[in-house]
Amino acid sequence: MKKILYSPNAPEPIGPYSQAIEFGNLIFTSGQIALDINGSIVSDDIKHQTKKVISNLKSILEENGASLDSVVKTTVFMKDMNDFAAMNEVYSDFFQTSMPARSTVQVAKLPKDVKVAIEVIAYKP
């Protein structure tokens, strides 16, 4: 059965979607962008944005019985692939020992004109 998941430690969705959905023992997050808890963009810097995005994902997962270690797949959406190395540097700080499968794509535009958005699929141990 599908269950809507929520974390008060991550920003509210900015559209008609849930922060995450649980189905069986899997958690599917919506794409997260670099918003603080008040819905403001944290910075224009790709490193700061990536750190905030992954911190938001971590909050959603931990609030709902999972963790970054239980992530099996990420999809990274980038405004500019020239920022890949900087994004990857921060990303690798969060995923050191349990590296999930990953796809990274450049897109024409992201919500609120941010530089990066990330969604994950995780399992509940």
Q: What integer is the mean pLDDT of 39-44? A: 95
Which pLDDT does position 106 carry in this prediction?
98
Q: Which residue from 68, 60, 53, 55 is spatially nearest to 112, judged by alpha carbons?
A: 53
| pTM for this predicted structure | 0.96
Token pair of 44 as six digits: 């224009």
- Asked whether residue 45 carries a pLDDT value surpassing 90, the answer given is yes
Residue pLDDT, tens place only, 58-116? 999 999 999 999 999 999 999 999 999 999 999 999 998 889 999 999 999 999 999 99
- Residue 97 pLDDT: 87
Query: For residue range 16-36, what is the model confidence (pLDDT) as tens digits?
Result: 999 999 999 999 999 999 999
* Residue that the structure tokens 């499968």 belong to: 101
- Domains annotated for the chain, with CATH where assigned, are 2-123 (3.30.1330.40)
Instruction: Using alpha carbons, list the distances in angstroms from residue 116 to 25, 29, 97.
Output: 27, 15, 23
Q: What whole-number distance in Å separates Cα of residue 46 and Cα of residue 52?
A: 10
What is the average pLDDT across 9-20? 96
